[in-house]
């Protein structure tokens, strides 16, 4: 039972991180520009790409949350 609680805690933490970084990427894309320039080295990082990544992070977080609420393990 304890292992199940730890797994749920980890999943909830990942959901919170995804939502936090997704919203931050939508609100302040210019602050994430240096990180994306490093991660997307051969390509130019743009505010549009950062916003798209923010939307995707929020979507994945919501999908994980729905999976957790549905009770799938």
pTM here?
0.71
What average pLDDT values come out for the chain (73 residues) when binned by 10 residues? 63 84 86 82 82 88 84 62
Q: At 1, is the secondary structure helix, strand, or coil? A: coil
pLDDT reported for residue 39: 78
State how far the Cα of 73 lies from the Cα of 68, in Å rounded to an integer. Answer: 8
pLDDT reported for residue 5: 59
Asked whether the beta carbons of 26 and 54 are under 8 A apart, the reply is: yes
């Amino acid at each position: 039972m304890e292992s199940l609680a730890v797994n749920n805690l980890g999943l909830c933490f990942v959901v919170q991180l995804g939502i936090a970084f997704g919203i931050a990427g939508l609100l302040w894309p210019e602050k994430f520009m240096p990180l994306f320039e490093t991660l997307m080295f051969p390509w130019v990082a743009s505010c549009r790409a950062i916003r798209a990544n923010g939307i995707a992070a929020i979507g994945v977080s919501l999908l994980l949350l729905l999976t957790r609420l549905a009770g799938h393990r």
